[in-house]
Amino acid sequence: MDRRHLKCLLWKTLWGLSVIALISAWVATRNGQVWGLNAEHLFWDALVLGVLAIPIKLDCHSCSVCRIGA
């Protein structure tokens, strides 16, 4: 596996987990808890995962995986 592919996979995984945490937090605001975690914890998880994904994507300048121009 190429390093670029690994970075793209990591970036997409972090964003995906962030979206799942955000949706779970919205559900937890109505139901109280999701997976044993309250909404505040899930909102923080979504924020941290999203922030961790940003520098990985910004480091990608020319990538055939992300389809960013050369």
What does pLDDT average to over the chain? 79
- Distance (Å, rounded) from C-alpha 16 to C-alpha 37? 18
pLDDT higher than 60, residue 70: no
**Interacting residues of 9 by C-beta distance below 8 A, sequence separation 6+:** none
Q: Give the confidence band of 67 by pLDDT, cuts at 50, 70, 90.
A: low
Predicted TM-score of the model (pTM):
0.74
| pLDDT-above-70 percentage for the chain | 77
For residues 17-35, one letter each, b for 16 or more C-beta atoms within 10 angstroms of the residue's C-beta and e for the rest, the string is bbeebbebbeebeeeeebe
At 3 the pLDDT is 65
pLDDT digits over 7-37, tens only?
778 888 888 999 999 998 898 888 777 778 7
